[in-house]
Every structure is written in C-alpha cells, then in structure tokens.
C-alpha cells in the first residue's frame, strides 16, 4: 500500500512539501486541504498587487510559466488531490485521521493519514482596540483582504490611509499607497523606530527620512488607542493626536495558526508556535510542520526564533517533502535574513541588530561605514551604507545591516555575510571576504571588506567613534561649548559649515593637520569629521601621535549625517 499523506494548508509550505514528496515517491497518495478557495499564492507579493505593479491577483497564483496553480493544476501536473474550502477541525492522532468540514456543504468527514503535514501558516496579530472591526480596517492577511483593499482604493474614495505598524509589511504598504495611488499615508509605530528589531536606530532613521521625502508621514513612539467612524472608519485616536483617515491597515506582526496542533497535544512554544526538530517533525514523529506556524533555532543566539517568510516556508517545505519520502534532510535553523524595497532604496539585514544583540546580552559594538558601491572612478555608482554588529572580546560577527539604492548591491553584500554567519565568523573574515572584483561591481577594497576593517579598528580602540545619532545630540548641545567640530576635508567641502558656524565648526584638512596641530584646542573634546569617516580616522591617528587623544571620529561621516536627514 502506498502511503497516504495529508497536508493541511495549501499556500506555500504545503504545496512545496506535497510536490517534492510526489517527485521523490510518485506512488504516494497526497491530499492537500485548505479552508480557502484561493491556494498556492505568493502572499509576499500582496503589496505589489496593491500598488499595481502586479496587475491581476491571478499573477500571484501562477507559475513562472503562466499556469494557474489551482486544484486542476495540482491534479494534472502534480497528481495531488486538493480539497479547497475544507477546514480541518481536529487531528485525531490516535486513529491517525484529520476531521474536516466542508465550508460549502458544512458536511463533516474524516481523512485518514499515514503522515501529516501542518502548514497552517500565520495570521496578522489582532489589535485589541475599540473600533477595530469597523469597515475600512484591514490586515494584509490573504488574497481576499488584498482584493478588498485594492477594490476600495480603486473606487477613488480613499484620500488618506493610516498604517498601524512600521515593520516591513507596513512600510511596503505605505510605499504602495503613496507611490502608485498618491494617497496621503501616515504610519504610526509604537516603538521609537521603524523596522524595529531588524536594523539599528541610525539606519531606521535613514530609511524613515527617505520615506518622508516620498511623502509618507511617520509618528513614532505612538500608540493608536481607538478607531472611530459611522459608516466605516474615518479617524484614529492615538495617545498623542487624532488622525483623519479613510482606510486603516493594521500591520503589527503575525502569529502562528497553531490551535489545531495545540488541541492535538503537540508541543507548542511559549510564543505559540509549533516546536519541531531539525527534521521538521513535531513532537509526534508522524506529523511534520513548517513555515509560519513553527519556530526554529536562531543560529546566532541558539535560542528559538520565529521567521514568517515565504522563503523559509519554501525551503522547509522541500525538506519535509524529502523526509516524507524516507529521506534524511535537515533544517538547521536560521540567521534571520531580510530585505525590503522602499521607493528608490533598499534596506537589508542578517543576524542581529546592535540593539537586539545587547538585549541578548552580547557585549556588542557596531561599526558604520559609507562607501561607493563600485569603484569610485566608475561613472555609475551610488553611496552605500553598512553597519556591522560585533561582539567585543570574541570579535564574533553577530549581524550586518545595509542601506543603498534599490538594485541588488546591498542585498548581495548582506547575503554574503548571511551565508557564513552560522559558521560564527570573526571580524577578520569580513575584512578578508573574497568578493568578486571588477570596477563596475565593487571597489578593490569592497565596502564589505572596508566595513570589517573599520569594525576591527573600533574593537582595537584605534578608532574612537561617534555615530550620526550621537553627533546630532552633540550638535544640538553645541552652545555648551564643550566640543569642537573639526572638519578634516578640503575647504571646498568645509566652507559652508565654517561660514555658517564660525565659532563651532573648524576646518583643518587632514593633509595639513601635521603642520597645523597647534591650532587644535587641547581643552575640548574634538569631533573629527569628513565625508565618510576615512580621513577623520587618519586625522585621529595623527592626533593620537601628537598626544591629542580626546577625539572622536564621526563614523559614516557627513554623507551618513545627510542621508539621516539631520539638519545642520
């Protein structure tokens, strides 16, 4: 008798596991059930469907060769039976069957299984505030919600949108509304930065500034406490203001759909996710689970982590398929890689941000750098911004975050680090990472190598730094007269600042510093400034040698300050 495998959930992991199993073991019988009628779609494409980049919802449900992944497709091309509008009510582990109910006829049935896959995914977290169930309040939960949102904005009656949550879904939605529909969009985020837990505060502010330049409004450290309206939502009350709005998107994160597993007595974590081993088996070895409903090991911290991403679901689905067919594949865990496009820029990250690292009790420092993404003499180039998070002492790399143009340059650098992160690299390995070199693609010393070098100098306390945030605070407090801002660039760059702030901003080009060291005040802290932090580091070394040690180098330099939108 060929085995019968039942798969609960037919969006990402479910179909992948089912198809992989059928390729390895074509004789096995596979039944996939889903409570929806739209299945096997690319949910991560929803913001691009809303924006209009993707014209038709069907495009998210077709293969790259334009076949609609519907019931018929799975039957004919994959030999997999799919039951849609079929809800799993319970897993009867003793009798090895799934109790299901048709959402069309409401008839109940029991489907026996030899092995079971739970691919029930996640749902948007619900915001428990008054008015949350008003018309016009949406989550980006599935294709039906996406179609409803697009229908509403297509009606032309949406002039203002409020997005609750500044994570990547919220930001992608903000871009979609603003860029393609010209809708006045406001994002309210409860923490003090956008992309919390993903990038550090400096880079978050950089991304926020870019989105503000693209007409998105942000309110940080602010909480929406109530939604109001008669025929649908018309305003939101926060702890600081009232915001008029025609539509609200709640994007405050997702949580695993683990109720079925919990009721069946499978191990569930404190986060509410299904606990699986490396083979992606639940506490019942006949039952596999993966995707947004499970947690896996964070390979940096060794603790459980939750990564609701379509890419994880696909890779885990293949591993489950292999194991269902008698294979021995393992999913070791994740480092947490991430990328988002925001208008003309991209933000990418892998591993831990500096604040997350510190929360995890690592004695972490971060090094920041700005450098061209290719040879500086190559005509087409853009400034790129990277931050490396390193543990003091061990010099272990914990994470890296990047900001740059919307091409593949930033994500390429992040992916190179992501690839080695589970090998616990030291900062020296970043300095010496062998990236392919040619002037149209990188500098001879690529920004990633330079980032490693910078981190190493900071760890060795050769470079004593301030970041753009600290610079901003020092600048705001400049009337205290405790600090001198010393511009180490040529007069061409420094002139504007010196002329505007003659008492605060001094100019001593780095290549003249040796001969003019007497001009530097010995009684004040000196903030050394150049475009990117390279010449100011050279200046710091030189001043050290002259016995002037109360200096700090502005890491990332003035290009970082400017990109942050700091107004001086």
Catalytic residues: 44
- Among 515, 502, 117, smallest CA distance to 321 is for 117
Please, which contacts does 331-334 make with residues 24 or more away whose CB atoms are closer than 8 Å? Answer: 331/278, 331/279, 331/280, 331/290, 331/296, 332/278, 332/297, 332/299, 332/422, 333/278, 333/296, 333/297, 333/298, 333/299, 333/305, 333/422, 334/296, 334/297, 334/298, 334/299, 334/305, 334/307
Q: Based on the shown chain and the rule CB under 8 A, indicate whether residue 551 belongs to the binding site for a second copy.
A: no
Strand order in the sheet with 235-238: 224-228, 235-238, 242-244
Q: Based on the shown chain and the rule CB under 8 A, indicate whether residue 428 belongs to the binding site for a second copy.
A: yes
What's the rounded Cα separation, in Å, for the pair 230 and 113? Answer: 49
Q: How many CB atoms lie within 10 A of CB 265?
A: 12
Q: Say how many CA atoms lie within 13 Å of 146 toward its Cβ.
A: 25
Nearer of residues 64 and 270 to a second copy, judged by Cβ: 64
DSSP-assigned states of every residue in 52-95: TSS--GGGGGB-TTS-B-SHHHHHHHH--EEE-SEEEEEEETTT
Radius of gyration over every alpha carbon of the chain, rounded to an integer in angstroms: 27
Both structure tokens of 343? 């208008």
What's the rounded Cα separation, in Å, for the pair 244 and 159? Answer: 10
Q: At closest approach, how far in Å is the CB of 531 from a second copy? A: 6
Q: At closest approach, how far in Å is the CB of 501 from a second copy? A: 22
Which residues in 440-469 contact a second copy (CB under 8 A)?
440-442, 444-446, 449, 453, 462
Q: At closest approach, how far in Å is the CB of 56 from a second copy? A: 9
DSSP-assigned states of every residue in 110-156: EEE-SEEEE---EEEPPP-STTTTSTTEEE--SHHHHHHHHHHHHTT
Q: At closest approach, how far in Å is the CB of 422 from a second copy? A: 8
Nearer of residues 152 and 489 to a second copy, judged by Cβ: 489
Nearer of residues 137 and 497 to a second copy, judged by Cβ: 497
Which residues in 481-500 contact a second copy (CB under 8 A)?
489-490
Which residues in 125-154 contact a second copy (CB under 8 A)?
none
Which of residues 348, 398, 484, 494 is near a second copy by CB under 8 A?
348
Which of residues 67, 103, 110, 148 is near a second copy by CB under 8 A?
67
Which residues in 109-128 contact a second copy (CB under 8 A)?
none
What's the rounded Cα separation, in Å, for the pair 220 and 250? Answer: 15
Q: At closest approach, how far in Å is the CB of 274 from a second copy? A: 20
Q: Based on the shown chain and the rule CB under 8 A, indicate whether residue 350 belongs to the binding site for a second copy.
A: yes
What's the rounded Cα separation, in Å, for the pair 418 and 106? Answer: 47
Q: At closest approach, how far in Å is the CB of 307 from a second copy? A: 9
Nearer of residues 52 and 272 to a second copy, judged by Cβ: 52
Nearer of residues 265 and 439 to a second copy, judged by Cβ: 439
Contact by Cβ (8 Å): 229, 245: no
What's the rounded Cα separation, in Å, for the pair 73 and 61? Answer: 11
Backbone angles phi, psi at 9, to 5 degrees: 110, 125
Which of residues 541, 548, 566, 568 is near a second copy by CB under 8 A?
541
Interface with a second copy by CB under 8 A: which range of 15-23, 203-211, 235-243, 517-525? Answer: 15-23
What is the DSSP-derived secondary structure letter of residue 44? G
Q: How many amino acids of this chain bind a second copy (CB under 8 A)?
A: 107
Which of residues 3, 29, 62, 297 is near a second copy by CB under 8 A?
62
Binding mask 21-60 for a second copy (x = CB under 8 A): -xxx-xx--------------x-xx--x----xx----xx
Which of residues 68, 76, 326, 359 is near a second copy by CB under 8 A?
76
Q: Based on the shown chain and the rule CB under 8 A, indicate whether residue 99 belongs to the binding site for a second copy.
A: no
Binding mask 299-338 for a second copy (x = CB under 8 A): ----------xxx-xxx--xx---------x-xx-xx-xx
Which residues in 514-533 contact a second copy (CB under 8 A)?
514, 530-532
Which residues in 156-215 contact a second copy (CB under 8 A)?
168
Q: At closest approach, how far in Å is the CB of 493 from a second copy? A: 8
- Among 378, 455, 365, smallest CA distance to 409 is for 378
Which residues in 365-424 contact a second copy (CB under 8 A)?
371-373, 375-379, 406-409, 411-420, 423
Q: At closest approach, how far in Å is the CB of 32 from a second copy? A: 17
Distance (Å) of CA 387 to CA 25, 352, 459? 46, 11, 14
Which of residues 129, 237, 437, 498 is near a second copy by CB under 8 A?
437
- Among 256, 358, 363, smallest CA distance to 304 is for 256
């Amino acid at each position: 008798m060929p085995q019968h495998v039942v798969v609960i959930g037919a969006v990402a992991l479910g179909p992948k596991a089912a198809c992989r199993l059928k390729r390895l073991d074509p004789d096995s019988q596979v039944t996939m059930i889903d409570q929806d009628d739209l299945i096997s779609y690319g949910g991560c494409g929803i913001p691009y469907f809303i924006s209009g980049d993707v014209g038709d919802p069907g495009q998210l449900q077709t293969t790259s060769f334009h076949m609609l992944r519907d019931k018929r497709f799975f039957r004919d091309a994959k030999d997999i039976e799919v039951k849609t509008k079929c809800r799993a009510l319970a897993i009867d582990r003793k009798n090895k069957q799934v109790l299901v109910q048709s959402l069309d006829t409401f008839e109940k049935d029991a489907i026996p299984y030899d092995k079971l896959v739970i691919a029930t995914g996640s749902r948007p977290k619900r915001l428990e505030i008054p008015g949350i169930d008003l018309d016009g309040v949406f989550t980006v939960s599935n294709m039906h919600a996406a179609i409803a949102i697009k229908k509403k904005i297509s009606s032309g009656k949406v002039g203002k949108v409020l997005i609750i949550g500044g994570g990547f879904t919220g930001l992608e939605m903000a871009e979609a509304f603003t860029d393609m529909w010209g809708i006045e969009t406001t994002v309210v985020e409860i923490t003090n930065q956008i992309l919390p837990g993903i990038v550090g505060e400096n880079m978050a502010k950089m991304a926020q500034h870019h989105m503000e330049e693209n007409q998105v409004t942000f309110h940080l450290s602010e909480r929406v406490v109530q939604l109001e309206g008669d025929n649908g939502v018309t305003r939101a009350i926060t702890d600081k203001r009232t915001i008029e709005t025609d539509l609200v998107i709640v994007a405050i994160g997702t949580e695993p759909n683990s109720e079925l597993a919990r009721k069946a007595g499978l191990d569930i974590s404190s986060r509410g996710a299904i606990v699986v081993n490396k083979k992606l088996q639940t506490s019942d070895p006949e039952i596999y689970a993966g995707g947004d409903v499970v947690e896996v090991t964070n390979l940096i911290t060794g603790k459980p982590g939750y990564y609701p991403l379509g890419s994880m679901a696909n890779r885990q689905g293949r591993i489950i398929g292999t194991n269902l067919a008698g294979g021995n594949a393992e999913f070791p865990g994740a480092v947490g890689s991430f990328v988002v496009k925001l208008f003309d820029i991209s933000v990418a990250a892998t591993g831990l941000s500096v604040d997350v690292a510190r929360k995890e009790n690592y004695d972490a420092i971060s090094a920041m750098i700005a450098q061209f993404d290719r040879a500086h003499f190559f005509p087409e180039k853009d400034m790129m911004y990277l931050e490396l998070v390193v543990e003091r002492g061990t010099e272990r790399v914990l994470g890296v975050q990047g900001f740059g143009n919307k091409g593949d340059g930033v994500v390429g650098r992040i992916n190179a680090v992501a690839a080695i992160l589970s090998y616990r690299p030291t900062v020296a390995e970043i300095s010496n990472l062998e990236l392919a070199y040619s002037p149209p693609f990188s500098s001879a010393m690529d920004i990633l190598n330079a980032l490693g070098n910078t981190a190493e100098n900071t760890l060795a306390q050769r470079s004593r730094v301030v970041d753009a945030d600290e610079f901003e605070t020092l600048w705001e407090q400049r009337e205290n007269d405790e600090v001198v801002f010393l511009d180490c660039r040529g007069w061409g760059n420094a002139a504007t600042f010196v002329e505007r702030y003659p008492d605060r901003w001094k100019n001593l080009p780095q290549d003249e510093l040796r001969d003019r060291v007497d001009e530097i005040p010995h009684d004040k802290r000196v903030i050394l400034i150049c475009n990117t932090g390279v010449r100011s580091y050279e200046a710091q070394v030189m001043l050290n040698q002259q016995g002037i040690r109360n200096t700090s180098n502005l890491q990332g330099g003035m290009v970082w300050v400017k990109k942050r939108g700091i107004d001086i």
